[in-house]
């Protein structure tokens, strides 16, 4: 039984790996975006899905990763890989430190605080000349579309692996306990502050890693683009559609939204957002637990707290 | 822990089938890419554009500018390539004002639609990302909608432009002020790419042309209060205020300067005065305020496609029912450059068109005379200045237009009627 899911995962990965052989550059570009959002959604899932703290500000980490790596490489002439590693580590540490106060809030209050966090980060970055300010940063045109596809794919796989390891570990049970009943978890001696902040830091770490690659892939970044609140919304919607708290949910969600976006654009250029929006509403109305969640409850009954998405915090 | 194998199986199947669908989309669409550019006697030119999203207003102006050129060329029989006339078609795809989409749509048009010649989307960030795709594929893209200098300092070989550098926008305003005995100026600018470059260029120009820059500050875009900056400016008593930002900030500065009774001999903005709603919102307080512009219908230039600048305005109004703004005119000029290059190259081969663009040299179009530089930017365009007079915009620069100038120095706020 265990082998079967492993075989399917390997087959899916093989398909993704061989995809560029069958298609053209445009599809590779679309697939790169899907892999990118899969990684971002998986990062969001760590804090929003598994821990049950729906963050509306994860784009801040994506943006910080991109802007910091750009600034280090342009201003200090660091090689980009080094600039990227330092940017990712800094953002991860920042996520941990910011998590300490923000994760004291619950439910909607937490969501609002993270929303404000993203907006405040945007304002600060826009006014720091070191980070390029409002002018943005222009990076050299290097690498090939194929290279960036495989890097994004690797980050998406890494995100899935981290999620898998967490879900099947003692730490995962700790986060599950926090999601189910935080007071009870605290009462039995779990260091909830540390556990939550670590999850937030991991989420920041992954988001920032995607941002670093995005910056060099696009070769030009400016704050309004990399701090676009819609990016957080996509992470959230993808995770919810796929199934919050699950390993494969964010990836399935990213695939579905990515392909639906392309189909909607093929149907109508002007109404693509409308079509996509309606499709999301339909999915959320009829599959409130996400695709994996609903499948599960149909087969073996619901296990609230593990595979369902809870707004109770 | 129990392994959810059935679920994993189901999701695996789903993932596989989605991957295959995606692969299918791709291979099905590779077909037309080999057919090339001029299939069926029509030359296709791709243009990602901001049909929707935050840039939709300016996006429409650019869209209409390209469309007007396309319709006119087709009405005149088409572009003459090696003795044969070809119709043109500008293919638009909505980037929703998002730079990432600008890039992926350029990629889509290149790969799936087989388009090899491009006009840019609106706004510098979108141009930045779309041109990276054009550069990777070695196909030319002419930018109309952003004059950020950094677009052209990346060493790209396939990006061209109809816009002067943002840093040159204020040159004409300063030339005008110099003839009116203005000595001291205060600069105030927003923090976005365009405003920063326009301001830095303006300040450098002012310093090298004998002005005394007594104040310079940056404020966040969409600021709702600029009184503290105005209070600091008032202490320096500059002759002129030059604001580089957005429409609402220009309106805000005028309103707050009036409230605080901070008077200037001249006020100029990069964005604001040329828009009809500026005079409508501010009424008599907008009178005499100067605006930097790139083109007005009064300019004495002409070419063989559009005729005179005034005729361009007439054609535009017939087609779209409104007066053209400089965004539209500059977009039409970019499309016209593409047409010139195709005719000169005698081919739609992207490399040949690119080389023709690089060797256009000095050209005279309805928007003025300019020279295509080695890095793809243009130089030499004489930029006009406009002034609000009786609620209308009047061209007051360059040259003889200065006789239209009124209200210099500006009357004090409390002396206006």
Mean residue pLDDT across chain B: 87
The CATH code of the domain that includes B343 is 3.40.50.2300
Look at residue A306 and tell me whether its pLDDT is greater than 50.
Answer: no
* pLDDT at residue B19 in the model: 45
Instruction: Provide mean pLDDT across the span B37-56.
Output: 82
For B308, the token pair is 């005179």
* pLDDT at residue A264 in the model: 82
One domain, residues B155 and B184: no
Using the 8-state DSSP alphabet, how is residue B414 labeled? Answer: G
Better-predicted residue by pLDDT, B28 or A195: A195
Residue A60 lies in a domain: yes
Burial environment of residue A226 by CB neighbours within 10 A (0 to 12, 13 to 18, 19 or more):
buried
Spatial CA neighbour of B143 closest among B38, B67, B48: B48
- Would you call B108 an interface residue with chain A, using a CB distance cutoff of 8 Å? yes
Angle between helix axes B5-29 and A290-300 (nearest 10 degrees) is 140
Residue B57 lies in a domain: yes
Cα separation, B160 vs B357, in Å, equals 8
**Beta-carbon separation of A24 and B103 below 8 A:** no
One domain, residues B202 and B323: no
Residue A13 lies in a domain: no
pLDDT tens track for B75-92: 999 999 988 999 999 999
Look at residue B148 and tell me whether its pLDDT is greater than 90.
Answer: no
Using the 8-state DSSP alphabet, how is residue B384 labeled? Answer: P
Counting one residue from chain A and one from chain B, the pairs whose CB atoms sit within 8 A come to: 173
Answer whether B401's CB lies under 8 Å from B395's CB.
yes
Nearest CB to B220 within list A1, A126, A291: A126
Residue B410 lies in a domain: yes
* pLDDT at residue B40 in the model: 57
**Beta-carbon separation of B125 and A224 below 8 A:** yes
Estimate to the nearest angstrom the gap between the alpha carbon of A102 and the chain centroid: 19
Residue B68 lies in a domain: yes
Instruction: Provide mean pLDDT across the span A67-75.
Output: 94
* pLDDT at residue A85 in the model: 97
Give the closest-approach CA distance of A104 to chain B in angstroms: 30
One domain, residues B103 and B145: yes
One domain, residues B197 and B287: yes
One domain, residues B366 and B389: no
Residue B6 lies in a domain: no
Instruction: Provide mean pLDDT across the span A188-209.
Output: 95
Instruction: Provide mean pLDDT across the span B344-348.
Output: 93
One domain, residues B155 and B185: no
Lowest-pLDDT range, A45-49, A126-130, B35-39? B35-39
**Beta-carbon separation of B99 and A23 below 8 A:** no
Give the closest-approach CA distance of A105 to chain B in angstroms: 29
Residue A2 lies in a domain: no
Spatial CA neighbour of B257 closest among B273, B278, B274, B240: B240
* pLDDT at residue A164 in the model: 94
Please tell me which residue of chain B has the smallest CA distance to A31: B22
**Beta-carbon separation of B14 and A220 below 8 A:** no
Give the DSSP per-residue string, B142-169: EE-S---GGGTSS--SSEEESSPPGGGT
* pLDDT at residue B388 in the model: 94
* pLDDT at residue B28 in the model: 38
Answer whether B270's CB lies under 8 Å from B195's CB.
yes
Which chain A residues touch B34 with a CB distance below 8 Å? none
- Would you call A25 an interface residue with chain B, using a CB distance cutoff of 8 Å? yes
Lowest-pLDDT range, A124-133, A170-179, A295-304, B139-148? A295-304
Residue A287 lies in a domain: no
Please tell me which residue of chain A has the smallest CA distance to B107: A26
Instruction: Write out the residue range of the structural domain in which residue A82 sits.
Output: 21-236
Total domains, chain A: 1
Give the closest-approach CA distance of B314 to chain A in angstroms: 29
Pick from A63, A218, A220 the residue to mutate for testing the B interface (most B CBs within 10 Å).
Answer: A220
Look at residue B192 and tell me whether its pLDDT is greater than 90.
Answer: no
**Beta-carbon separation of A269 and B30 below 8 A:** no
Cα separation, B177 vs B265, in Å, equals 10
Answer whether B52's CB lies under 8 Å from B112's CB.
no
- Would you call A227 an interface residue with chain B, using a CB distance cutoff of 8 Å? no
- Would you call A270 an interface residue with chain B, using a CB distance cutoff of 8 Å? yes
One domain, residues B396 and B269: yes
Give the closest-approach CA distance of B395 to chain A in angstroms: 31
Give the DSSP per-residue string, B190-255: ESSHHHHHHHHHHHHHHHHTT-EEEEEEEE-TT-S--HHHHHHHHHH--SEEEEES-HHHHHHHHH
**Beta-carbon separation of B18 and A255 below 8 A:** yes
Lowest-pLDDT range, A6-10, B300-304, B328-332? A6-10
One domain, residues B209 and B225: yes
Residue A16 lies in a domain: no
Question: Model's pTM, two decimal places?
Answer: 0.82
One domain, residues B235 and B128: no
Total domains, chain B: 2
Lowest-pLDDT range, A51-65, A89-103, A114-128, B25-39? B25-39
Helices (H) and strands (E) in chain B, counts: 12, 18
* pLDDT at residue B75 in the model: 94
Partner residues linked to B371 by β-bridges: B362, B379
Give the closest-approach CA distance of B396 to chain A in angstroms: 31
One domain, residues B322 and B338: yes
Residue B144 lies in a domain: yes
pLDDT tier for residue A142 given thresholds of 50, 70 and 90: confident
For B59, the token pair is 């996006």
pLDDT tens track for A87-115: 999 999 999 999 999 999 988 899 999 99
Give the DSSP per-residue string, chain A: -HHHHHHHHHHHHHHHHHHHHHS-HHHHHHHHHHHHHHHHHHHHIIIIIIS----S-THHHHHHHHHHHHHHHHHS---HHHHHHHHHHHHHHHHHHHHHHHTTS-HHHHHHHHHHHHHHHHHHHHH-GGGTGGG-EE----S-HHHHHHHHHHHHHHHHHHHHHHHTSHHHHHHHHHHH-HHHHHHTT--HHHHHHHHHHHHHHHHHHHHHHHHHHHSEE-HHHHT-HHHHHHHHHHHHHH-TTSSSHHHHHHHHHHHHHHHHHHH-STTHHHHHHHHHHHHHHH-TTHHHHHHHHHHH---TTTTS--S--
- Residue window 52-91, chain B: list those with CB within 8 Å of chain A: 52
| Of A278-292, B13-27, B33-47, B400-414, highest mean pLDDT | B400-414
Look at residue B151 and tell me whether its pLDDT is greater than 50.
Answer: yes
Q: Would you call B304 helix, strand, or coil by DSSP? A: coil
């Amino acid at each position: 039984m265990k082998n079967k899911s492993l075989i399917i995962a390997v087959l899916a990965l093989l398909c993704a790996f061989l995809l560029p052989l069958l298609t053209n550059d445009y599809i590779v570009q679309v697939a790169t975006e899907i892999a990118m959002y899969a990684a971002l959604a998986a990062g969001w899932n760590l804090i929003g899905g598994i821990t049950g703290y729906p963050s509306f500000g994860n784009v801040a980490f994506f943006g910080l990763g991109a802007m910091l790596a750009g600034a280090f490489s342009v201003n200090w002439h660091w090689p980009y890989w080094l600039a990227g590693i330092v940017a990712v580590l800094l953002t991860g540490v920042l996520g941990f430190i910011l998590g300490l106060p923000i994760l004291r809030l619950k439910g909607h209050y937490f969501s609002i605080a993270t929303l404000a966090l993203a907006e405040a980060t945007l304002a600060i970055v826009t006014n720091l000349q070191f980070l390029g300010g409002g002018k943005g940063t222009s990076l050299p045109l290097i690498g090939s579309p194929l290279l960036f596809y495989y890097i994004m794919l690797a980050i998406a796989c890494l995100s899935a692996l981290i999620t898998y390891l967490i879900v099947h570990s003692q730490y995962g049970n700790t986060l599950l306990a926090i999601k189910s009943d935080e007071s009870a978890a605290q009462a039995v001696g779990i260091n909830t502050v540390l556990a939550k902040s670590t999850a937030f830091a991991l989420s920041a770490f992954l988001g920032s890693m995607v941002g670093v690659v995005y910056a060099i892939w696009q070769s030009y970044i400016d704050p309004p683009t990399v701090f676009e609140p819609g990016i957080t919304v996509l992470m959230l919607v993808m995770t919810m559609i796929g199934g919050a708290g699950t390993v494969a949910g964010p990836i399935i969600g990213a695939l579905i939204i990515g392909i639906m976006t392309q189909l909607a654009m093929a149907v109508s250029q002007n109404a693509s957002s409308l079509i996509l929006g309606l499709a999301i509403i339909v999915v959320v109305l009829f599959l409130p637990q996400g695709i994996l969640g609903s499948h599960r409850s149909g087969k073996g009954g619901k296990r609230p707290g593990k595979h369902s998405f809870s707004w109770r915090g | 822990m129990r392994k959810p194998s059935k679920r994993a199986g189901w999701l695996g199947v789903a993932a596989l089938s989605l991957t295959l669908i995606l692969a299918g989309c791709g291979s099905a669409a590779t077909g037309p890419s080999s057919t090339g550019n001029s299939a069926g006697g029509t030359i296709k030119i791709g243009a990602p554009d901001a049909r929707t999203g935050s840039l939709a207003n300016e996006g429409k102006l650019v869209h209409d500018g390209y469309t007007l050129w396309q319709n006119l060329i087709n009405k005149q029989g088409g572009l003459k390539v090696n003795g044969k006339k070809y119709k043109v078609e500008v293919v638009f795809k909505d980037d929703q004002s998002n730079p990432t989409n600008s890039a992926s749509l350029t990629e889509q048009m290149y790969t799936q639609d087989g388009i090899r010649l491009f006009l840019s989307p609106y706004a510098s960030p979108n141009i930045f990302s779309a041109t990276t795709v054009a550069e990777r594929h070695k196909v030319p893209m002419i930018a109309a909608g952003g004059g950020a200098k950094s677009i052209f300092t990346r060493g790209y070989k396939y990006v061209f432009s109809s816009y002067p550098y943002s840093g040159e926008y204020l040159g004409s305003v300063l030339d005008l002020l110099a003839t009116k005995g203005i000595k001291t100026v205060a600069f105030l600018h927003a923090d976005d790419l365009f405003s920063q470059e326009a301001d830095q260029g303006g300040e450098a120009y002012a310093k090298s042309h004998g002005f005394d820059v007594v104040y310079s500050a940056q404020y966040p875009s969409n600021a709702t209060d600029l009184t503290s900056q105005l209070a600091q400016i008032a202490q320096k008593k500059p002759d002129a205020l030059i604001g580089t930002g957005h429409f609402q900030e220009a309106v805000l500065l005028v309103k707050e300067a009036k409230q605080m009774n901070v008077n200037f001999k001249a006020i100029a903005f990069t964005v604001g005065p040329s828009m009809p709603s500026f005079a409508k919102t501010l009424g008599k307080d907008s009178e005499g305020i100067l605006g930097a512009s790139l083109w007005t219908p009064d300019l004495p230039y002409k070419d063989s496609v559009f005729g005179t600048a005034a005729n361009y305005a007439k054609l535009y109004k017939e087609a779209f029912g409104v007066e053209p703004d400089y965004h539209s005119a500059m977009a039409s000029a970019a499309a016209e450059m593409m047409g010139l290059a195709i005719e000169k190259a005698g081919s739609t081969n992207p490399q040949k068109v690119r080389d023709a663009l690089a060797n256009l040299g000095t050209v005279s179009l309805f928007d003025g005379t300019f020279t295509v530089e080695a890095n793809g930017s243009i130089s030499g365009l004489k930029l006009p200045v406009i002034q609000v007079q009786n609620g209308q915009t009047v061209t007051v620069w360059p040259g003889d237009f200065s006789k239209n100038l009124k209200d210099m120095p500006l009357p004090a706020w409390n002396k206006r009627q």
